[in-house]
Structure 1
């Protein structure tokens, strides 16, 4: 990633009203936390310090200053192990202050979706994630191109409206 690319923390730090994240993949590159979960290890949710990470604090701080953070995931069913794990760890996202919804891919056929995951900040700045086939981040792209922002904003809102809140989505 070029050094001129602002970090996620910088982008969220400049955000004033809203940050939305659309996820469209059924799996991403495995992490140590995912592999531990696959081995049967579980998070002790009561031991906040054991799982609370800088990302969670960044989200919590942003929500405290009035930024609404929403995440929508479009997933195939039956879900992959990776999505099962994401569903499990989403408790952390929600504790930090994110609102999270899930939409079965089968219910998204008539929604024009972009080809990539993205974050949209204040409906004005888009950070697009480009992944390899095996889920590794290849690069991120920043754009303020109005037509692209409109497509992504419209897609996110259509997914959000149809999606199921996290606590009602069972994997």
Structure 2
């Protein structure tokens, strides 16, 4: 209850001791934040549109169903997680909740999805958002390294879940 007022008090006292106009510094920070938002928003909107199109069109379900027929080692419900995790954190979290509700938290798919959620990152989202905000155009190496790291994380999550949780 007292932590937020205490933080504000410490900031104000520190600003007074350093002879900084805290109000002007705050306003400048807000201006910079709005400017950053306006730089990042188009890339974020494009990414969210692409994710929505994949989910709502049924293309992702079709693709996951096709792959699940040929790779039967993994539960079929895990494939949307494998595809969405490198793209979007919110989409993969929605898939995780869907797996929990439909298959169960303690199921192999639930455990596997939890490990994937915790051991990988949203590579495409990070590259789209952060690289576009600072104007980096050459993303080839970062993208390939990020996707390799995601594949390693997903592979280890699957392996660990199959070895330690399927018994």
Same fold (TM over 0.5): no
If asked which structure has higher relative contact order (CA below 8 Å, sep 6+), I would say 1
Larger fraction in helix = 2
Larger fraction in strand = 1
TM-score by length of 1: 0.33
TM-score by length of 2: 0.34
